């Protein structure tokens, strides 16, 4: 399989996202002169270390490097003040300098946490993302959003800090649990719904194969997704024009569902985003922005690929108003209003800053009772 390179064209600090097979096996070669010391700091979690640690170690070793490992417990809890302190103290003890590259090997949890540690270490050192989940390959490793969670909510403390390089090794998807692969796939579909109807149609035709492990389908989906994200990030790095906010399609509804289910294994982030996109499509149809048949096409695709697509199946004992209350803690709240990403058809996402939250609550009551 050939490697696809997607440039992220940011003035002053452009970087590449390389997508392909065997990238971890050739890690030292891929990183080249970025690895300027013998010891290379690698942050990961125990699941990823068990499956991919030996390969990373061998690749670095063959080029005369030694990996220094920080292996964290898997799970969202690592994205905490204590997790951040652990990573930064460890990097300081290793003597990492501002010109050194810290390596993040794992899913979005490891990428977000390590990226934030790199953002603040000595006021900013460099880092390399080695995303090992589909979600991380198509979304979190690209674009420089880094964060931890606090008792007040998810991702509320963080920084924009771009990686120096992203290596999305598709081989790693082979060891990913099926549920995690499927959850990440929701973020792939998101790019079709935001601005690429032909890609949504491709997903309808090829999503099942991708989830069954078809590497050509995975390669295509990751490359298209990363190219879409790179274009948006290059245009609106700091989410100031509203363009980057489109990447939050499904996230406002989804966030309320994650909050209601306690950010637990009950509903993974990507699963919540799938349901959130169903709700955004149906709300758009109800507002006359999109044909009802098109909204149902979105529902049908998530149903066909085994993703959550109906609120009643979650078994929530909640009213729409309580879900809207969760939304009020969203970090996108702006002077008392919450911008929603809605759709004028598949591929026609736009930011609506005038959505009436009481109307959203009524809509959600209807969806909960469907």
Catalytic residues: 123, 145, 187, 229, 239, 244, 248, 251, 255, 269
Neighbour-count burial of 101, counting CB atoms closer than 10 A to its CB (0-12 exposed, 13-18 middle, 19+ buried): buried
Pull the structure tokens for residue 342.
């809605």
Q: Please give the structure tokens belonging to residue 352.
A: 């609506």
Cβ contacts of 10 within 8 Å, gap of 6 or more? 162, 233, 234, 237
- Considering the rule CB under 6 A, would residue 193 count as an interface residue with ligand GLY? no
Output 70 or 274, the one with its CB closest to ligand GLY.
274
Q: CB 88 → ligand NAD: shortest distance, Å?
A: 18
Q: Is 145 in the site for ligand GLY (CB under 6 A)?
A: yes
| 250 touches 280 (CB < 8 A) | yes
Told to check if 237 binds ligand GLY by CB under 6 A, we report no
Closer of 83 and 107 to ligand NAD (Cβ):
107
Q: Does residue 78 sit in helix, strand or coil?
A: helix
Measured from the CB atom, the residue of 55 and 357 that comes closer to ligand NAD is 55
Nearer to ligand NAD, 115 or 320 (CB): 115
Helix, strand, coil % over all residues of the chain, rounded to 5? 55, 20, 30
Query: What's the CA gap between 19 and 355, in Å, rounded?
Result: 38
Cα separation of the two ends of the chain? 46
User: Per rule CB under 6 A, is residue 244 in the interface with ligand GLY?
Assistant: yes
Could you tell me the two tokens for 264? 């637990």
**Residue number with the smallest Cβ distance to ligand GLY:** 247
Q: How many CB atoms lie within 10 A of CB 322?
A: 15
Q: How far is the CB of 239 from ligand NAD (least distance, A)?
A: 11
Among 105-113, 137-145, 305-313, 346-354, which window interacts with ligand GLY (CB under 6 A)? 137-145
Among 143, 192, 207, 339, indicate the residue that binds ligand GLY (CB under 6 A).
143
Q: Would you say 107 or 320 has its CB closer to ligand GLY?
A: 107
- Chain centre distance of CA 244: 13
**Residue 47 contacts which entry, ligand GLY, ligand NAD, none (Cβ below 5-8 A, type-dependent):** ligand NAD
Footprint on this chain of ligand GLY (rule: CB under 6 A):
139, 143, 145, 244, 247
């Amino acid at each position: 399989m050939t490697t696809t390179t997607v440039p992220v064209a940011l003035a002053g600090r452009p970087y590449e996202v390389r997508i392909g097979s065997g990238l971890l096996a050739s890690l030292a070669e891929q990183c080249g002169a970025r690895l300027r010391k013998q010891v290379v700091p690698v942050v990961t979690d125990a699941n990823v270390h068990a499956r991919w640690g030996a390969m990373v170690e061998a690749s670095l070793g063959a080029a005369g490097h030694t990996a220094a490992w920080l292996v964290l417990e898997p799970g969202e809890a690592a994205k905490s003040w204590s997790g951040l302190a652990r990573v930064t103290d460890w990097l300081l003890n290793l003597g990492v300098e501002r010109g050194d590259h810290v390596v993040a090997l794992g899913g979005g949890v490891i990428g977000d946490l390590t990226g934030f540690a790199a953002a603040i270490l000595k006021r900013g050192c460099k880092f390399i993302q080695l995303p090992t989940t589909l979600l991380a390959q198509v979304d979190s490793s690209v674009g420089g959003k880094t964060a931890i969670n606090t008792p007040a909510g998810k991702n509320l403390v963080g920084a924009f800090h771009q990686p120096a390089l992203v290596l999305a090794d598709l081989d790693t998807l082979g060891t990913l649990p099926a549920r995690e692969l499927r959850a990440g796939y929701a973020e792939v579909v998101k790019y079709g719904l935001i601005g690429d109807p032909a890609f949504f149609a491709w997903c309808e035709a090829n999503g099942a194969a991708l989830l069954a492990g078809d590497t050509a389908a995975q390669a295509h989906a990751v490359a298209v997704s990363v190219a879409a994200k790179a274009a948006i990030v290059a245009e609106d790095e700091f989410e100031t024009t509203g363009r980057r906010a489109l990447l939050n399609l499904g996230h406002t509804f989804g966030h309320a569902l994650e909050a209601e289910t306690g950010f637990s294994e009950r509903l993974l982030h990507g699963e919540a985003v799938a349901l959130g996109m169903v709700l955004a499509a149906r709300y758009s149809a109800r507002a006359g922005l999109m044909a009802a048949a098109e909204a149902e096409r979105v529902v049908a695709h998530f149903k066909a690929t085994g993703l959550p697509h109906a609120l009643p199946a979650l078994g929530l004992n909640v009213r729409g108003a309580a879900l809207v209350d969760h939304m009020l803690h969203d970090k996108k709240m702006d002077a008392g209003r919450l911008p929603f990403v809605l759709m004028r058809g598949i591929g026609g996402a736009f930011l609506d800053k005038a959505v009436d939250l009481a109307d959203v609550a009524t809509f959600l009551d209807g969806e909960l009772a469907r």
